[in-house]
């Protein structure tokens, strides 16, 4: 279990850094051109630009990942619940993203898998107690 927790924390930190960077880019330039995409991706979404998705990506996905890693790395007893919750949030974010964009990118599969992995690691630890 220790190895799974280490891998999970590495994934949380990388996910957090990635989401904060992408979220900041969307907040700074809501057109998405900073990340090489256009608002055309949002034609099926309730947004006209990437500002709101960028704020959610930065705060919920990015800061949420780093906070979850912090909870785990500082030995808080509730880290398995945080893994469960954050894993569900990340997987949910990807599902909502796919529904709204109606487009698939391989990174969506990667981050969805990370969310599932975190959920499983959290659930395994909860079951052990």
Each residue of 38-97: pLDDT tens digit? 999 999 999 999 999 999 999 999 999 999 999 999 999 999 999 999 999 999 999 999
Query: Residues 94, 111: contact at Cβ < 8 Å?
Result: yes
Mean pLDDT of 106-125: 97
Mean pLDDT of the chain: 96
Provide, rounded to the nearest whole percent, the portion of the chain with pLDDT above 70.
99
C-alpha–C-alpha distance, residues 87 and 118, integer Å: 5
How far is Cα of residue 1 from the mean position of the Cα atoms in its chain? 22
Q: Is the pLDDT of residue 129 over 70?
A: no
> Nearest 5°: CA angle at 51, between 45 and 55?
105
pTM for the predicted model, two decimal places: 0.93
Nearest Cα neighbor of 121 from 75, 85, 70 is: 85
Q: What is the pLDDT of residues 1-25, one digit of tens each?
A: 799 999 999 999 999 999 999 999 9
**R_g of the chain, CA atoms, integer Å:** 15
């Amino acid at each position: 279990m220790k190895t799974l927790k280490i891998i999970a924390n590495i994934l949380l930190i990388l996910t957090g850094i990635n989401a904060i960077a992408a979220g900041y880019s969307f907040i700074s330039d809501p057109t998405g051109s900073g990340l090489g995409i256009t608002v055309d991706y949002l034609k099926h979404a309730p947004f006209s630009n990437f500002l709101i998705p960028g704020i959610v990506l930065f705060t919920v996905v990015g800061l949420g990942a780093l906070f979850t890693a912090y909870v785990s790395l500082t030995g808080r007893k509730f880290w398995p619940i945080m893994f469960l919750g954050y894993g569900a949030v990340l997987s949910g974010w990807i599902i909502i993203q796919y529904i709204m964009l109606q487009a698939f990118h391989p990174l969506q599969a990667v981050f969805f898998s990370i969310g599932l992995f975190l959920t499983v690691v959290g659930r395994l630890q909860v079951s052990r107690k």
